[in-house]
Amino acid sequence: MKSSSPSSIQIPRVLTIAGSDSGGGAGLQADLKVITALGGYGMSVITAITAQNTLGVSRIQDVDLDVVEAQIDAVFLDIGVDIVKIGMLASPEIVRTVASALKRHGAKRIVLDPVLRATSGASLGGDDTAQAMMADLFPMASIITPNLEETSLLLGREIVSVADFNQAAHELLDMGPQAVLIKGGHLDSSHTQLTDFLMWRTIEDGLEVIQSKEFKHYRVNTMNTHGTGCSLSSAIATYLAGGHDLGHSVAKAISYVEAGLEAGRFLSIGEGPGPLWHMHDFYPSALPAEEGKY
C-alpha cells in the first residue's frame, strides 16, 4: 500500500454498487458523473448489465456473484472506501453477496437507494429482492432513499400523499436504517411544490431520539428526469463523505438535482425522457436551439 506524504491530497472515496445503464442517464454511469461533479473519487461495482435507453429497459443480465464479490474486494483492499452508495441489486442472491462482503470489510457508512423499478416501469427486482434488502441491508444502512412507489412496495400498501410520509418513514426506520428519506417526486403532477421527508434517529443522553424534517421545493417543468433517484442518492453519499452532516447533505443533494433538472430542461438526448444535466456547475446550461442548444 502506498504511504501518504504530508503533501498528499485526499478526496472523498465513494463506491457505487449498482447496475449499468447503457444509455448513460441512470445507474452507475449517473452515479460516477455526480461523484466527480461534486469533488469525489468514484469507484464502481457492477451488479447487472442493462440494455437501456430513454425509452426503457429491454434486457437485464445479472453479474455472477463471485465477480460482484471480487469487485468489492478489489476496491476495499487497495483504494479504500469512505462511503458506499448502493443502487440496483436485481436478485436476493446479489443482495446477500453485497451485504456479506461489506460486513467483511467493515463498511460503516452506506447510502441505500432501494431501486426496484425503473422510471419506465420495468421491474429491477421483485418481492424476494425487496425482502432480502430489508433483512440484510436496511440494518446496515446510514440512510435509505425510496421514492413513493418503492415505499409502497416495501410497506405493502399504497403511499400517495404527503400526509402518509410520517407514518411510512417511522415504519421504514423500524426496519433498521439510521435514516429514511422518502422522495416526493412521484406525487401527482398537479403538485407544483414537492416535499421530500427525512426522518433519522440519534442518541441523546443515552436515549434514542427520532427527528424529522421536510424539504419543500418546486417541480421543474421538464420530461428529462431519467436518473434523478440515482443522482440524488449519489449526491447525498458524496456530501456525507465530504464531511457534511446528514441534514445538510440531503439539502445540498436536493439542490444539486434540482439545478441539474433546470439546466437540462431542453436537452435532446434520445426519444424518451432524457437525463438531467449533471455537469451544470462546469458547463453552460442546455438551452433551446435559439439560445444555443447542445
- Give the predicted TM-score (pTM) of the model: 0.92
Q: Which pLDDT does position 189 carry in this prediction? A: 63
Burial of 129-168, coded b for 16+ CB within 10 Å and e otherwise, reads bbebbbebbbebbbbbbbbbbbbbbbbeeebeebebbeeb
Grid look-up 435532446 returns: 268
φ, ψ of residue 18 to 5 degrees: the values are: -165, 175
Q: Which pLDDT does position 123 carry in this prediction? A: 57
Mean pLDDT of 9-38: 96
Q: Is the pLDDT of residue 24 over 70?
A: yes
Q: Which pLDDT does position 190 carry in this prediction? A: 63
Per the model's pLDDT, the better-predicted residue between 184 and 249 turns out to be 249
The segment with the largest mean pLDDT, out of 79-93, 119-133, 193-207, is: 79-93
φ, ψ of residue 162 to 5 degrees: the values are: -60, -30
Percentage helix, strand, coil, to 5, in the chain?
A: 35, 25, 40
State the average pLDDT for the chain: 90
Domain boundaries, the chain: 13-291
pLDDT tier, 42 (very low <50, low <70, confident <90, very high otherwise): very high
Amino acid at 210: I
Q: Is the pLDDT of residue 31 over 90?
A: yes
Query: Tell me: the pLDDT tens digits for 146-174?
Result: 999 999 999 999 998 889 999 999 999 99
- On whether the 13-291 domain is CATH 3.40.1190.20, my answer is yes
Q: Which residues are part of the catalytic machinery? A: 183, 225, 227-230
